[in-house]
A and B are shown apart, each in its own frame.
Chain A
Amino acid sequence: MRKVWAIVRLTIAESIRTRVAIAFVLLLAGVMVLLISTASGDGTVAGKIQMFMSYSMGLTYFLLALLVIFLACRTLDQDIQSQRIDSLASKPLARWQLLLGRWLGIVLLALFLFILSMGTTYTMVRLYARSAKEKTQDKFKIDNQILVARRGFMPPLPDVSGQVEKRIAELKAQGNMPQNRGYTDVQKMIGDELIRQTRTVNPRQQGIWVFKGLPKPQQGEVVLTLRYKYEPSITTTRDKESNLRGDTIYGQWIIGRREAKNVYITSPMEKPYRTLQELNIPINAIDPDGSLTIAFINGDPREVAVHFPPQDGIEILVHEGTFEPNFIRTAIIIFSAIVFLTTLALACGTFLSFPIASLVALSAFFVGIGGNFLYEAMGKFGDETVLNTFVRVIGGLLSGKDVLNNCERLISLISLQIIPVLDASVFTSKLIDGRIIDWNDVAGQFGNLVILKAGVLAIFAIFVFSRRELGKITV
């Protein structure tokens, strides 16, 4: 291990003495100062905290990703091009030890810088939080909706499979099954529509949802949050008669069962639609069996139906932990992506020159950042898998039909399987919303990025580098 540590020390010393790391620290410090002096959010301290956290963590991740890609792509290529590798590789140092040392050196350097940056972010967040005035709505929001770890509960989706099959049978009998859609596609479309109907509250009616499995009320926990977002069936305009503004919906919430002791009914409220709203409710609205009933009464006089989207239309957020562990878990997830990028860049550097290796690694990084967008686009693929698309490509090659189209889809599917989602904003958004990022999330990201994908890349890198001729000869 002494040999590996020698390479680790060399890598860190190189980064510092060639001033690459120092340039990064200065850049990051400049960005932090800029954020501190300019971040204002929505004018509240809570908004300022959310904006500062979002930008500082996002920029730290982005800059650090660029740094590790640069260092990892450059290190081997520079050794080989300058022929320093001759002295090194003629010593009793296995190629894998050289790779491991380089990798570990960059990862440790990145870890140090990451801790420095995240430490600054945390300190600033705490200083901002302290600056909020006590007993204000702002302070309440900071303490109960941002600097907390809350778990979200959705109402269970109704089982509509029976209705779907019945409807498909009817369509078949009528000969109205769409010809250009697969069976699975039609099934999904009908199912989505039926679920949508269960989330729609018509004028002067109420929608009732029962949440199950909520934590039983305990002493000290006082607040639950109902988070909701609704969409109108038609665009509402200003109503002079009822004195309602445009782009709003008028309704009322009933928390708890009507027949239970602890039932809370809000005043009728006018709230803008298509924006997230939060409503604090007492914890004792939860029944002893861990269920909670919530009803929305559509009292809008403008004859508008209200729809709650299944993804984020209605949710109960329960306080489950504190901010600090949540912050640390988010940091681990972000750093897992940094470790993956280091491995990817180093693997590219084992067989590509610095410019090409960095181009490949940067491309993968930017595709990975947009990974969520790609996964959403994946919906277009429906029931297609790599295997059945491959079969279609073969079939296309034999019949000469749709070859290009199928190849394109196959490449897209494989790319989506290989390139992991590197979009850290998924997790930072959760953090600044005060949502819990639990250890399962950490294990999932760490396992996928570091153990699985970086592991495969590391094996590939060792295989390639061990077989590469390192000596350079002018002939």
Chain B
Amino acid sequence: MSLSQRQTVIETVSLTKTFKDFWGRNKVRAVCDLNLQIHKGEVFGLLGPNGSGKTTTIKILLGLLYPTSGRARIFEKSPTNVEVKSRIGYLPEETRLYQFLDSLETLDFYGRIFNLEKSERDKRTEALVDMVGLGPAASRPVGQYSKGMARRIGLAQSLINDPDLLILDEPTSGLDPIGTRQIKDLLIELKKRGKTILLSSHLLADVEDVCDRVAIMYGGKLLCCGPIEELLAQQDMTQILTENLQADQLSKLGQYLEHELGCKVISVGSPRDRLERFFLRMVQQAQSQMGTSGALAGGKVSEFLRGSGEADTGKALLQKLMAEEELSPESRQVAQDISKPQPQTVQRDVLEQLVTEQKAEPELPQSPLPDPTRREPLKQEQIDRNLLDGLTKHDRPNGSGG
């Protein structure tokens, strides 16, 4: 099934939002003539610098703001439709919860809003608190949480209804690398189950890791939109990965490429590990040796979100089977690719080890196997990306819209 034939979950048609001042004069055009289509089972990234209209778009999609012109549809219904919201999970840009409630009460409250039965609420509440690693702090009021801890409980509340559509606005903002990694794992799990995810983020590496398609906005307008591989592919270059080569072998290879094939060698170097993976290894070592009063690394993705295990009783199991049945060949292919022993999967194992507090192995954990399907960025690209990430994250003022 082609992308266009899959069910459209989010659609905007010439969506425009203009904010007016007290006298009704146009002040800011936050979103301008936005046309988007997000399909079932997609992880869609919404990118753009500060003030590009990302958060405004999301708030229109949730019925929190109304479009000045154009229209937005979610599951083919108006965003203000109350029933359609039972299928949506939303993590706002800033986690603002009722500060006098603790984690369990917070999740129980939102569970009630979703009309969940008490037994189901209790089960999900407990599972989500464990999943986001807030078990030891569950009885503390949310108002006493650090930003990262509040972010975790914010994420948990967005998942209480096991949503079909998850909208995450800057989900990794304020999270440590472990939490960030965990969110990526979660997104992958949800994607496997055919869930649709709209992800807005400044952190380009996060988006690149999990998104199928991205849209880049600037000044409220859509600059480009498409599959991430297509957008990032450099068609005029080729990268070859081999085992480590000696200097003379490199020299011979270079001569062969230049003289025999007429290709110019631009750069030669060793592939670098990503800082995120390095950080995780270090923390894993530390955590096996000492405790912490803060948030833990977080547990496995909850069973009810994975749609397996104990939660797979009756209806839940049927839903899971149905969800997998409905996957299109394209998305199934993507899901299979992801399920291969890739870095992400290896890192999930690392996370599990962190949570279970196993004794540190005498030697460092093995480096993840290189994924032959994955393009390792060149050195210069890494520098550029890190610089971009650093700039966009650093520049972001508190509470500003996207």
Bound pair (A, B): yes
Within 8 A of A (CB), among B78-107: 82-83, 85-86, 88, 90, 92, 94, 96-98, 100-101, 105
B278: Cβ under 8 A from any A Cβ: no
A84 within 8 A of B: yes
- Of the candidates A13, A85, A474, A475, the one whose C-beta lies within 8 Å of that of B101 is A13
Q: Is B30 an interface residue (CB 8 A)?
A: yes
**Mask of B11-55 contacts with A, CB within 8 angstroms, 1/0:** 000000001000000011010000000000000000000010001
Residues on A with beta carbons closer than 8 Å to the beta carbon of B101: 10, 13
* Interfacial chain A residues near B100, Cβ < 8 Å: 13-14, 17-18
Binary per-residue interface labels of chain A (297-319) against chain B in the complex, 1 for a CB within 8 Å, 0 otherwise:
00000000000000000000000
For residue B85, which residues in chain A have a CB less than 8 angstroms away from its CB?
Answer: 90-93
Once A470-B64, A471-B64, A474-B401 are accepted as A-B contacts, the answer to whether A6 and B97 lie under 8 Å apart by CB is no
Q: Is the C-beta of B344 less than 8 angstroms from some C-beta in chain A?
A: no
Interface-lining segment among B111-119, B232-240, B246-254, B326-334: B111-119
A1-51 residues at the B interface, CB under 8 angstroms: 2-3, 5-6, 9-10, 13-14, 17-18
Contacts of A469 on B, CB cut-off 8 Å? Answer: 64-66
Given contacts A86-B90, A86-B96, A473-B65, 17 further A-B contacts (CB under 8 A): A5-B112, A6-B112, A9-B109, A14-B98, A82-B96, A83-B96, A84-B97, A86-B59, A87-B90, A87-B110, A91-B85, A91-B86, A91-B113, A92-B113, A474-B399, A474-B400, A474-B401
A475-B27 CB under 8 A given contacts A82-B96, A469-B64: yes
Asked, given contacts A17-B100, A83-B96, whether A89 binds B62 with beta carbons under 8 Å apart, the answer is yes
B56 on interface, CB distance cutoff 8 Å: yes
What is the chain B residue whose CB lies nearest that of A470?
A: B64
Q: Tell me which residues across on chain B come within 8 A of A85, comparing CB atoms.
A: 64
| A86–B91 CA distance with the chains assembled, in angstroms | 9
Residues from 67 to 101 in A contacting B, C-beta threshold 8 Å: 82-94
Q: Which residues of A contact B96 (CB under 8 A)?
A: 82-84, 86-87
Given A83-B94, A473-B59, also A89-B64 (CB < 8 A): yes
- Distance A441 CA – B221 CA, assembled complex (angstroms): 63
- Name A473's contact: one of B56, B113, B114 (CB within 8 Å): B56
A10/B92 in contact, CB under 8 A:
no
Among B88, B92, B101, B399, max chain A CB count under 10 A is at B92
Instruction: Tell me if B401 and A473 are in contact (CB < 8 A).
Output: yes
Given contacts A3-B115, A475-B27, contact A94 B82 (CB under 8 A): yes
Interface centre among B27, B85, B157 (most CB of A within 10 A): B85
Interface size on A, residues (CB 8 A): 29
Q: Which of B309-341 contact A (CB under 8 A)?
A: none
For B98, the chain A residues whose CB sits under 8 A away are 10, 14, 84
Task: List, in ascending order, chain A residues with CB within 8 A of B56's CB.
Answer: 473
**Residues of A close to B62: CB separation below 8 A:** 86, 89-90, 471
Residues on A with C-beta less than 8 A from B97 are 84, 87
Give the Cβ gap from A92 to chain B, nearest Cβ, in Å.
4
Interface membership of B63, Cβ < 8 A: yes
Of B64, B105, B114, B400, which one neighbours A86 at CB under 8 angstroms? Answer: B64
Query: Among A18, A93, A473, which residue has the most Cβ atoms of chain B within 10 A?
Result: A473
B55 and A473 contact, CB distance less than 8 A: yes
Contact A89 B63 (CB under 8 A): yes
Look across to chain A and name the residue whose beta carbon is closest to the beta carbon of B79: A90
Bound CA span A256–B92, Å: 81
Contact residues in B for A89 (Cβ distance below 8 Å): 62-64
Chain A residues contacting B82 (CB-CB under 8 Å) are 92-94
B interface list, Cβ under 8 A from A: 19, 27-28, 30, 51, 55-56, 59, 62-66, 82-83, 85-86, 88, 90, 92, 94, 96-98, 100-101, 105, 109-110, 112-115, 154, 157, 399-401
**A82-B96, A93-B82 as given contacts; A3 in contact with B112, CB under 8 Å:** yes
How many residue pairs bridge A and B at CB < 8 Å? Answer: 91
Q: How far is the CA of A475 from the CA of B28 in the complex (A)?
A: 7
- Expressed in whole angstroms, the Cα–Cα distance for A313 and B193 within the complex equals 84
Contacts of A86 in B (CB 8 A): 59, 62, 64, 90, 92, 96
A13 to B96 Cα, complex, angstroms = 17
Task: List the B side residues contacting A17 at CB < 8 Å.
Answer: 100
CB-CB contacts below 8 Å: A266-310 with B = none
Residues of B near A5 (CB, < 8 A) are 112
- Most B CB contacts (10 A, CB to CB) among A89, A91, A93 go to A91
Query: Which of A13, A93, A473 meets B30, CB within 8 Å?
Result: A473
B113 contacts A475, CB within 8 Å?
no
**Measured between alpha carbons, how far is A85 from B154 in the docked complex, in Å?**
13
CA of A18 to CA of B99, assembled, Å:
10
Q: Is A2 a contact of B59 with CB atoms below 8 Å?
A: no
In angstroms, Cα B96 to Cα A10, docked, is 15
CB distance A92 to B92 under 8 Å? no
Q: Which residue of A lies closest to B56 (CB)?
A: A473
Alpha-carbon separation in the docked complex, A198 to B88 (Å): 78
Contacts of B65 in A (CB 8 A): 469, 471, 473
**Residues from chain A with Cβ under 8 Å of B400 in the complex:** 474
| Shortest Cβ gap from A109 to chain B (Å) | 15
In the assembled complex, the Cα of A18 lies from the Cα of B98 at a distance in Å of 11
User: Which residues of B lie under 8 Å from residue A87 when comparing CB positions?
Assistant: 90, 92, 96-97, 110, 154, 157
Determine the residue in chain B with the shortest Cβ distance to A467: B66
Could you name 29 residue pairs across A and B whose Cβ atoms are closer than 8 Å?
A: A2-B112, A3-B112, A3-B113, A3-B115, A5-B112, A6-B112, A10-B98, A18-B100, A82-B96, A83-B94, A84-B96, A84-B98, A86-B62, A86-B64, A86-B92, A87-B154, A89-B63, A89-B64, A90-B88, A93-B113, A94-B82, A469-B64, A470-B64, A471-B59, A473-B56, A473-B59, A473-B65, A475-B28, A475-B30
Using Cβ atoms and an 8 Å threshold, which residues of chain A touch B83? Answer: 92
CB distance from B52 to the nearest CB of A (A): 12
Q: Does A10 contact B109, Cβ atoms closer than 8 Å?
A: yes
Evaluate contact between B92 and A83: CB separation under 8 angstroms: yes
Q: What residues of B have a CB within 8 angstroms of the CB of A14 in the complex?
A: 98, 100
Give A202 to B151 CA distance when docked, in angstroms. Answer: 87
Separation of A17 and B65 alpha carbons in the complex (Å): 31
Q: How far is the CA of A377 from the CA of B59 in the complex (A)?
A: 52
Give Cα distance in the complex from A2 to B109, angstroms: 10
CB-CB nearest in chain B for A88: B113
User: Which residues of B sit under 8 angstroms from A18, Cβ to Cβ?
Assistant: 100
B contact residues around A91 at 8 Å (CB) = 85-86, 110, 113-114
Q: Mark A348-375, 1 if CB is under 8 A from B, else 0.
A: 0000000000000000000000000000
